[in-house]
Amino acid sequence: MDKDDVSIKVGGTAKLTPTINPANATDKTGKWSVTDDSIATVGNDGTVTGVKVVTTIVTFATTDGNKTAQATVTVTAA
């Protein structure tokens, strides 16, 4: 992940980008998820949106399931 920790305001957004190695990997696809989508949501492009004040974990897992990356997202008051 390009960031280990992200802080955003309620209603704010931040973009996370997974780091796929090796750089010439043929399949760089995967799925984004968030521990609790009542705290923050994550889109298919890695854009995280803050929903309520608290901390959660955003995860990117490769399609084959062999690799995952996580970032801690802290949502603060707007």
Global pTM value: 0.89
The pLDDT of residue 23 is 81
What pLDDT tens digit does each residue of the chain (78 aa) get? 999 999 999 999 999 999 888 888 888 899 999 999 999 999 999 999 999 999 999 999 999 888 899 999 999 998
* CA distance readout (Å), 51 to 40, 60, 61: 5, 19, 22
Phi, psi of 12 (to 5 degrees): -85, 170
* Alpha carbon distances (Å) from 48 to 21, 24, 66, 68: 23, 26, 23, 17
CATH of domain 5-76: 2.60.40.1080
Q: Where are the domains of the chain?
A: 5-76
Nearest to 71 by CA among 21, 27, 32, 38: 32
pLDDT of amino acid 22: 81
Strands 5-9 and 68-76, sheet pairing? parallel
